[in-house]
Amino acid sequence: QKEVEQDPGPLSVPEGAIVSLNCTYSNSAFQYFMWYRQYSRKGPELLMYTYSSGNKEDGRFTAQVDKSSKYISLFIRDSQPSDSATYLCAMSVDTGNQFYFGTGTSLTVIP
Amino acid sequence: NAGVTQTPKFQVLKTGQSMTLQCAQDMNHEYMSWYRQDPGMGLRLIHYSVGAGITDQGEVPNGYNVSRSTTEDFPLRLLSAAPSQTSVYFCASGRALNEQFFGPGTRLTVL
Protein backbone atom coordinates (compact mmCIF):
# COMPACT_ATOMS: atom_id res chain seq x y z
CA GLN A 1 0.00 0.00 0.00
CA LYS A 2 1.30 3.43 -0.92
CA GLU A 3 1.81 5.93 1.86
CA VAL A 4 -0.29 8.51 0.03
CA GLU A 5 -3.08 7.90 -2.46
CA GLN A 6 -4.37 10.52 -4.86
CA ASP A 7 -6.84 10.20 -7.71
CA PRO A 8 -4.93 11.13 -10.89
CA GLY A 9 -8.01 12.47 -12.65
CA PRO A 10 -8.03 14.12 -15.09
CA LEU A 11 -10.52 16.60 -13.73
CA SER A 12 -12.15 19.11 -16.05
CA VAL A 13 -14.37 21.94 -14.75
CA PRO A 14 -15.87 25.15 -16.17
CA GLU A 15 -14.43 28.49 -15.16
CA GLY A 16 -15.90 29.72 -11.88
CA ALA A 17 -16.58 26.25 -10.49
CA ILE A 18 -15.52 25.09 -7.04
CA VAL A 19 -12.87 22.39 -7.30
CA SER A 20 -12.25 19.73 -4.67
CA LEU A 21 -8.99 17.76 -4.71
CA ASN A 22 -8.34 14.98 -2.23
CA CYS A 23 -5.70 12.64 -0.83
CA THR A 24 -5.85 9.77 1.60
CA TYR A 25 -2.97 8.38 3.60
CA SER A 26 -2.15 5.38 5.72
CA ASN A 27 0.44 6.65 8.23
CA SER A 28 -1.34 8.12 11.25
CA ALA A 29 1.94 9.76 12.33
CA PHE A 30 1.81 12.29 9.51
CA GLN A 31 1.42 15.78 10.95
CA TYR A 32 2.54 18.12 8.18
CA PHE A 33 0.46 18.41 5.04
CA MET A 34 1.30 20.31 1.90
CA TRP A 35 -0.27 21.03 -1.46
CA TYR A 36 1.90 21.78 -4.48
CA ARG A 37 0.87 23.05 -7.90
CA GLN A 38 2.85 21.95 -10.92
CA TYR A 39 2.42 23.50 -14.33
CA SER A 40 3.41 21.44 -17.35
CA ARG A 41 7.17 21.02 -17.66
CA LYS A 42 7.83 23.10 -14.53
CA GLY A 43 8.87 22.32 -10.98
CA PRO A 44 6.25 22.01 -8.22
CA GLU A 45 5.48 25.19 -6.27
CA LEU A 46 4.23 25.20 -2.70
CA LEU A 47 0.60 26.35 -2.42
CA MET A 48 -0.54 25.50 1.08
CA TYR A 49 1.14 24.19 4.22
CA THR A 50 -0.82 23.01 7.25
CA TYR A 51 0.09 21.41 10.53
CA SER A 52 -2.12 18.79 12.18
CA SER A 53 -5.88 19.01 11.74
CA GLY A 54 -8.12 21.85 10.72
CA ASN A 55 -8.57 24.34 7.92
CA LYS A 56 -6.32 26.92 6.37
CA GLU A 57 -7.43 29.55 3.90
CA ASP A 58 -5.37 31.61 1.46
CA GLY A 59 -7.33 33.64 -1.05
CA ARG A 60 -9.32 31.28 -3.25
CA PHE A 61 -7.61 28.21 -1.77
CA THR A 62 -8.67 26.29 1.34
CA ALA A 63 -6.82 23.29 2.72
CA GLN A 64 -8.56 20.88 5.08
CA VAL A 65 -7.07 18.09 7.13
CA ASP A 66 -9.14 15.36 8.77
CA LYS A 67 -6.68 13.21 10.71
CA SER A 68 -9.39 10.93 12.08
CA SER A 69 -10.26 9.88 8.52
CA LYS A 70 -6.67 10.23 7.21
CA TYR A 71 -8.01 12.50 4.49
CA ILE A 72 -6.93 15.88 3.21
CA SER A 73 -8.58 18.21 0.73
CA LEU A 74 -7.79 21.30 -1.28
CA PHE A 75 -10.69 23.49 -2.39
CA ILE A 76 -10.34 26.08 -5.12
CA ARG A 77 -13.13 28.67 -5.31
CA ASP A 78 -13.96 30.62 -8.46
CA SER A 79 -11.58 28.49 -10.49
CA GLN A 80 -9.68 30.20 -13.31
CA PRO A 81 -8.05 28.86 -16.48
CA SER A 82 -4.72 29.78 -14.87
CA ASP A 83 -5.46 27.14 -12.20
CA SER A 84 -5.06 24.43 -14.86
CA ALA A 85 -2.17 22.35 -13.56
CA THR A 86 -1.36 19.17 -11.70
CA TYR A 87 -1.92 19.36 -7.95
CA LEU A 88 0.24 17.24 -5.68
CA CYS A 89 -0.38 16.52 -2.04
CA ALA A 90 2.54 15.75 0.26
CA MET A 91 2.89 14.91 3.91
CA SER A 92 5.50 14.17 6.53
CA VAL A 93 5.84 13.05 10.11
CA ASP A 94 8.16 15.82 11.18
CA THR A 95 10.03 18.80 9.76
CA GLY A 96 13.23 16.76 9.71
CA ASN A 97 11.75 13.75 7.97
CA GLN A 98 11.19 13.19 4.30
CA PHE A 99 7.78 13.80 2.95
CA TYR A 100 5.74 11.56 0.73
CA PHE A 101 3.96 12.78 -2.37
CA GLY A 102 0.74 11.72 -3.97
CA THR A 103 0.92 11.03 -7.70
CA GLY A 104 -0.95 14.24 -8.52
CA THR A 105 -4.36 15.21 -9.94
CA SER A 106 -4.48 16.87 -13.34
CA LEU A 107 -6.95 19.78 -13.41
CA THR A 108 -8.20 21.69 -16.46
CA VAL A 109 -10.39 24.77 -16.04
CA ILE A 110 -12.31 25.49 -19.22
CA PRO A 111 -12.99 29.18 -20.06
CA ASN B 1 17.35 35.87 -6.02
CA ALA B 2 17.64 33.19 -8.67
CA GLY B 3 16.09 30.61 -6.30
CA VAL B 4 16.95 27.02 -7.18
CA THR B 5 18.77 26.52 -10.47
CA GLN B 6 19.46 23.23 -12.23
CA THR B 7 21.69 22.37 -15.16
CA PRO B 8 21.40 20.94 -17.68
CA LYS B 9 17.72 21.23 -18.65
CA PHE B 10 17.90 18.20 -20.93
CA GLN B 11 20.37 15.34 -21.23
CA VAL B 12 20.61 12.14 -23.24
CA LEU B 13 23.00 9.45 -22.06
CA LYS B 14 23.96 6.00 -23.23
CA THR B 15 23.75 3.07 -20.85
CA GLY B 16 26.85 2.91 -18.68
CA GLN B 17 27.80 6.57 -19.00
CA SER B 18 28.19 8.73 -15.92
CA MET B 19 27.21 12.33 -15.41
CA THR B 20 26.54 14.97 -12.78
CA LEU B 21 23.35 16.98 -12.46
CA GLN B 22 24.06 20.37 -10.98
CA CYS B 23 21.90 22.16 -8.42
CA ALA B 24 22.48 25.51 -6.76
CA GLN B 25 20.44 27.76 -4.48
CA ASP B 26 21.02 31.30 -3.29
CA MET B 27 18.54 31.41 -0.41
CA ASN B 28 20.95 30.13 2.25
CA HIS B 29 18.75 27.11 2.88
CA GLU B 30 20.16 24.32 4.99
CA TYR B 31 17.99 21.56 3.52
CA MET B 32 18.50 20.41 -0.05
CA SER B 33 17.15 17.34 -1.75
CA TRP B 34 16.89 15.48 -5.04
CA TYR B 35 13.71 13.90 -6.36
CA ARG B 36 12.81 11.98 -9.44
CA GLN B 37 9.37 12.19 -11.00
CA ASP B 38 7.98 9.33 -13.05
CA PRO B 39 4.47 8.90 -14.50
CA GLY B 40 2.16 7.19 -12.02
CA MET B 41 4.84 7.20 -9.32
CA GLY B 42 4.79 10.79 -8.17
CA LEU B 43 7.88 12.44 -6.73
CA ARG B 44 10.31 10.16 -4.93
CA LEU B 45 13.17 11.29 -2.75
CA ILE B 46 16.63 10.14 -3.87
CA HIS B 47 19.03 11.83 -1.43
CA TYR B 48 18.89 14.81 0.85
CA SER B 49 21.19 17.02 2.89
CA VAL B 50 20.56 18.89 6.12
CA GLY B 51 23.66 21.03 5.80
CA ALA B 52 27.14 21.20 4.31
CA GLY B 53 28.96 17.92 4.82
CA ILE B 54 25.82 15.98 5.80
CA THR B 55 23.85 13.80 3.41
CA ASP B 56 21.42 10.92 3.77
CA GLN B 57 19.52 8.50 1.61
CA GLY B 58 15.91 8.86 0.63
CA GLU B 59 13.47 6.36 -0.81
CA VAL B 60 15.33 5.48 -4.06
CA PRO B 61 19.09 6.09 -3.59
CA ASN B 62 20.56 3.21 -5.59
CA GLY B 63 22.67 4.27 -8.56
CA TYR B 64 23.09 7.85 -7.34
CA ASN B 65 25.71 9.65 -5.26
CA VAL B 66 25.63 13.08 -3.68
CA SER B 67 27.95 15.35 -1.75
CA ARG B 68 27.45 18.75 -0.13
CA SER B 69 30.65 20.72 0.22
CA THR B 70 28.95 24.13 0.36
CA THR B 71 25.55 25.42 1.48
CA GLU B 72 24.77 26.55 -2.07
CA ASP B 73 25.52 23.45 -4.15
CA PHE B 74 24.19 19.91 -4.11
CA PRO B 75 25.22 17.89 -7.21
CA LEU B 76 23.73 14.51 -8.05
CA ARG B 77 26.00 11.96 -9.70
CA LEU B 78 24.81 9.05 -11.80
CA LEU B 79 27.55 6.44 -11.57
CA SER B 80 26.61 4.16 -14.48
CA ALA B 81 23.42 5.26 -16.20
CA ALA B 82 20.67 2.72 -16.81
CA PRO B 83 17.43 3.04 -18.83
CA SER B 84 15.51 2.80 -15.52
CA GLN B 85 17.01 6.17 -14.60
CA THR B 86 15.16 7.89 -17.42
CA SER B 87 13.12 10.45 -15.54
CA VAL B 88 12.67 14.11 -14.66
CA TYR B 89 14.93 15.12 -11.79
CA PHE B 90 14.10 17.96 -9.44
CA CYS B 91 16.34 19.60 -6.93
CA ALA B 92 14.74 21.41 -3.99
CA SER B 93 15.86 23.51 -1.05
CA GLY B 94 14.19 24.86 2.06
CA ARG B 95 14.37 25.73 5.73
CA ALA B 96 13.03 22.26 6.50
CA LEU B 97 12.75 18.99 4.63
CA ASN B 98 8.98 19.40 4.41
CA GLU B 99 9.07 23.00 3.19
CA GLN B 100 10.85 22.80 -0.09
CA PHE B 101 11.19 25.07 -3.09
CA PHE B 102 11.79 23.21 -6.32
CA GLY B 103 14.01 23.95 -9.28
CA PRO B 104 12.83 23.74 -12.90
CA GLY B 105 13.99 20.15 -13.40
CA THR B 106 16.35 18.17 -15.63
CA ARG B 107 14.86 15.79 -18.19
CA LEU B 108 17.16 12.79 -18.52
CA THR B 109 16.88 10.05 -21.12
CA VAL B 110 19.10 6.98 -20.93
CA LEU B 111 19.28 4.94 -24.12
**A103 phi, psi to nearest 5 deg:** -80, -10
Check whether the bond before B75 is cis (ω within 30° of 0).
no
Give how far A27 is from chain B: nearest CA, Å: 16
Section B11-20 average pLDDT: 97
Find, among A50, A43, A106, the residue nearest to B43 by Cα.
A43
* Residue B100: pLDDT band with limits 50, 70, 90: confident
- Residue A7 is predicted with a pLDDT of 87
Residue contact B102–A88, C-beta within 8 A: no
Give how far A83 is from chain B: nearest CA, Å: 19
Which of B42, B98, B103 is closest, CB to CB, to A92?
Answer: B98
Chain A residues touching B41 at Cβ < 8 A: 103
Report which DSSP code applies to A81.
Answer: G
- Residue A96 is predicted with a pLDDT of 67
Q: What is the pLDDT along chain A (111 residues), one digit of tens a residue?
A: 678 999 888 999 999 999 999 999 999 999 999 999 999 999 999 999 898 888 999 999 999 999 999 999 999 999 999 999 999 999 988 766 678 899 999 999 999
A40 touches chain B (CB under 8 A): no
Residue contact A4–B42, C-beta within 8 A: yes
B101 touches chain A (CB under 8 A): yes
- Residue B41 is predicted with a pLDDT of 83
Q: Exposure of B63 by Cβ count < 10 A (0-12 exposed, 13-18 middle, 19+ buried)?
A: middle
- Residue B99 is predicted with a pLDDT of 78
Cα dist. A110→A8, A15, A82, B56 in Å?
Answer: 18, 5, 10, 43
- Residue A1 is predicted with a pLDDT of 67
Give how far B80 is from chain A: nearest CA, Å: 26
- Residue B3 is predicted with a pLDDT of 92
Q: Which residue in A95, A105, A106 has the most chain B C-beta atoms within 10 A of its own C-beta, making it the best mutation to test that interface?
A: A95
